[in-house]
Structure 1
Amino acid sequence: MYQAKAYSVSSATSAFAPTTISRREPTDTDVQIEILFCGICHSDLHQARNEWKEFMPTVYPCVPGHEIVGRVTKVGSSVAKFKVGDLAAVGCLVDTDRTCPECLAGLEQFCPNPTLTYNFPDKHTGGVTYGGYSDSVVVDERFVLRVPSNLDLAATAPLLCAGITTYSPMRHWGVTKGKKVGIVGLGGLGHMGVKFAHAFGAHTVVFTTSPNKKDDALRLGADEVVLSKDANDMAKHASSFDFILDAVSADHDLNAYIQLLRRDGTLTLVGAPEKPLPIAAFGLLFGRKSVSGSPIGGLPETQEMLDFCGDHNITSDVEVIPIQKVNEAYERLLKSDVKYRFSIDMASLKSE
């Protein structure tokens, strides 16, 4: 074991503060990574404040962070994919059972026995896993990803969650050139959805409640922007969408978007509203429409996504902050006061 610098919360109401945590020494199959940047995901906030205590109670101290980009500093004797000095990334998973049908199919995100990057039982230490708000991490080679060298590293970090969460459903439901795709909500997830839909060649339409987001949506790659509160504007697009990605986590009317789907169209949720949302059956029956959900992607697809981003120069729009401003960032995140993701520069941790 060795000691690593980190920022943690000690309770649901405490602020982040500097600390040291124990990391395992690399085994034969492990990669040790110096963390250069770590994105802040909204789920970090939920976990830090124990807002998911019903199904995923937080174990304190908690070190969040599952959007990790860094440089390899040590590799185990059996590691074949990485060498010291390589750029590397880690997302939401650091292990699975590796034997279930989902893992064997490269769909590790659906494994019934995963090990998440933080706040999950750690078989190596006997405690819980600690995430990327730290100066280093040790992860099995299988769960480490290659980072294209041409991408800005600070802006690459959010791809490990926000990126793959929006890329995966678009790939699964066949978003390609000639398709009409809607993106509901222009936030951390939605802005990545716009970039991917545009890169896939789809006619991309952003739905927003904020008129002042129109220019930014167009800058990100949208072909059209629809104000979802404008019934006439919505009606113009009835029965015309092949696919709609819903990235809103607040309470909202799904039926309004179901009406916009063409025959066999799909509305896929990647946001997670706190309360169940009602759906009118007739809206689905007439047109054989579907409502679905999608989490992150598996390891092969996440690597595919990173390579796609390298080929198309796609990254997240980020505001880079020092780790010392993480508490302020959380408060701003609650107010949606960021365009569009925070990325922590972990070099700032060296001064602690």
Structure 2
Amino acid sequence: MTTVSAYAAPAAKAPLERTTIQRRPVGEFDVLIDIKFAGICHSDIHQAREGWGEAIFPMVPGHEIAGVVTEVGTGVTKYAVGDRVGVGCLVDSCRECENCKVGLEQHCTGGGVGTYNAIGKDGEPTYGGYSEKVVVDENFVVRIPDGLSLDVAAPLLCAGITTYSPLKHWGAGPDKKVAVIGLGGLGHMGVKIAHALGAEVTVLSQSLRKKDDGLKLGADHYHATSDPKTFEELAGTFDLILSTVSAPLDFGAYLSLVKTGGALVNVGAPEEPISLNLFSLIGGNKTLAGSMIGGIAETQEMLDFCAEHGLGAEIELIRADQINEAYERVLASDVRYRFVIDTATI
């Protein structure tokens, strides 16, 4: 076992504090990663504050991990010491169910293991990226291309794949009109990726406060949802709408913006349930769908795509002792557009 420094929430809703945790010895197929940067995802806040239900404490959040390999197990074939790598939301799965066999490990039915707030196959809690090092099975590690710096690559391990996967699945590309609801940590990557895929991109945000940013990131249009005229003018416009916000929305209103046969895909995960009049789906043969991150192979595909198109996250680099402040700023929508922890400060 290796003792490493980390930042952990000792209990639900408690401020995160510096502590030490134990990392398992490097096994035959394991990779030891010296974490360089860790993104702060809104999911970290939901889980550290038990917004999504009972959680495991102490909790070391962080599933947007970028670092360098410093040791490999004797059976490792994919990575070598010195490689630039990342770890996202998963560190293990059953590898035998139907979903795992086709590269959908995020939908594992036999026991997927989250990077943190989960129990590993060894019976011990998993701890995430707000730490100095992590040990991960090579099959759940991805390679960060040389074209991406590690700091802007870290958020791609969640924010990048969370938006890339549904955009690809639902056919975002040339001759398609795509709207992104929310210009935050997820939304700004959704705009960048949809634009790179060739779609005509619109941002739907509460206000026009971030309009200049949205257009610079690749949006063709920007509309305020607080203006009722937006829903009148854009009725039946979009082939695909990607909702990235974690607050409950009036999905009926947003479905009115979808073309006949189009889809509204949700990647945000509000803590509260929503209600929906099903006539907003029936009329127009529309689809309301969800999407959850992506499999390991698709995550690698996303990283390669982002490197090819020069797409990194827009980040604000912080010290570890600023994590609690950063959480409050995320909740206040006061970040453009992803906080990333310099783990050298842990």
TM range (shorter): over 0.9
Does the 8 A contact of 2:207 with 2:223 survive in 1?
Answer: no
Deviation at 1:255, TM superposition (A): 1.3
Query: How far off is 1:286 after superposition?
Result: 2.3
Contact 2:31–2:138 (Cα < 8 Å) also in 1:
yes
The two structures have a TM-score, normalised by structure 1, of 0.96
Structure 2: any 5+ residue segments left out of the alignment?
none
Aligned to 1:123: 121
The residue type paired with residue 112 of structure 2 is P
Letter in 1 for 2:15: A
Find the residue that maps to 1:80 and give its secondary structure: coil
Q: Is the 8 A contact 2:92 2:114 kept in 1?
A: yes
**Do the aligned residues in 1 keep the contact of 2:13 with 2:50 (CA within 8 Å)?**
no
- 1:161 is aligned to 158
Counting matched residue pairs gives: 345
Q: CA RMSD in A?
A: 1.1
Amino acid at match of 2:316: E
3-state SS of 1:196 partner = helix
Q: Report the Cα distance in structure 1 between the residues aligned to 2:117 and 2:295, rounded to whole angstroms.
A: 20
Report the Cα distance in structure 2 between the residues aligned to 1:13 and 1:303, rounded to whole angstroms.
34
For residue 303 of structure 1, what is the amino acid of its counterpart? Q
CA distance in 2, matches of 1:101, 1:13: 37
Q: Please report how far the alpha carbon of residue 287 of structure 1 lies from its aligned counterpart in structure 2 after TM superposition.
A: 1.6
Q: Hey, what's the Cα distance between the residues in 2 that align with 1:48 and 1:278?
A: 26
Matches for 1:203-242 after TM superposition, within 5 Å: 203-242=200-239
d(CA) in 1 for partners of 2:67 and 2:61? 16
Secondary structure of 1:337's counterpart equals coil
| Contact 1:183–1:194 (CA under 8 A) maintained in structure 2 | yes
Paired residue for 1:14? 14
Deviation at 1:127, TM superposition (A): 2.1
TM-superposed deviation, 1:252: 2.0
The answer to whether the 8 Å contact 2:116/2:125 transfers is: yes
| 1:268-315 CA distance string (max 9 Å, x none) | 011122223222222222221110011100111100000000100101
- The 3-state SS of whatever aligns with 1:244 is strand
How far apart are residue 189 of structure 1 and its match?
Answer: 0.8
- The structural deviation recorded for 1:228 is 1.3
Where structure 1 has 5 or more consecutive residues not aligned to the other structure, the ranges are none
What secondary structure sits across from 2:183 in the alignment? Answer: coil
Is the contact between residue 266 and residue 290 of structure 2 (CA under 8 Å) also seen in structure 1? yes
Q: In the alignment, which of 98, 101, 117 is matched to residue 95 of structure 2?
A: 98
1:324 Cα deviation after fit: 1.3
The 8 Å contact of residues 72 and 86 in structure 1, kept in 2 or not, is answered as yes
Please, which of 130, 134, 155 is the counterpart of residue 131 of structure 2? Answer: 134
291, 297, 305: which one pairs with 1:294? 291
Inter-partner Cα distance in structure 1 for 2:299 and 2:162: 9
CA distance in 1, matches of 2:92, 2:223: 41
2:49 equivalent in structure 1: 49
Which segment is superposed worse, 73-82 or 232-241? 232-241
Using the alignment, how far apart are the partners of 1:59 and 1:284 within structure 2? 38
For 1:333 and 1:238, locate their aligned partners in 2 and report how far apart those are by CA, in whole Å. 31
Offset at residue 245 of structure 1 (A): 0.2
State the TM-score, normalizing by the size of structure 2. Answer: 0.97
**4+ residue stretches of structure 1 with deviation over 3 A?**
none
- The answer to whether the Cα contact below 8 Å between 1:162 and 1:189 also exists between their aligned partners in 2 is yes
The separation in 2 between residues aligned to 1:16 and 1:61, in whole angstroms, is 9
Whole-angstrom CA distance in 1 between matches of 2:103 and 2:321: 38
Give 1:14's aligned amino acid. A
SS in 2 for 1:50: coil
The SS at the match of 1:331 is helix
Aligned equivalent of 1:29? 29
- After superposition, what is the alpha-carbon deviation per residue over 1:14-40, rounded to whole angstroms, capped at 9, x for unaligned? 322211111111111000000000000
1:86-122 Cα shifts (integer Å, max 9, x gaps)? 0000000000000000000101110021010011112
Tell me by how many angstroms 1:231 deviates: 2.4
2:187 is the alignment partner of 1:190: yes
- Are 1:227 and 1:234, in contact at CA under 8 Å, matched by a contact in 2? no
- Per the TM alignment, residue 128 of structure 1 is displaced from its structure 2 partner at its CA by 0.3
The aligned amino acid for 2:73 is G
Contact 2:207–2:226 at 8 Å: present in 1 too?
no
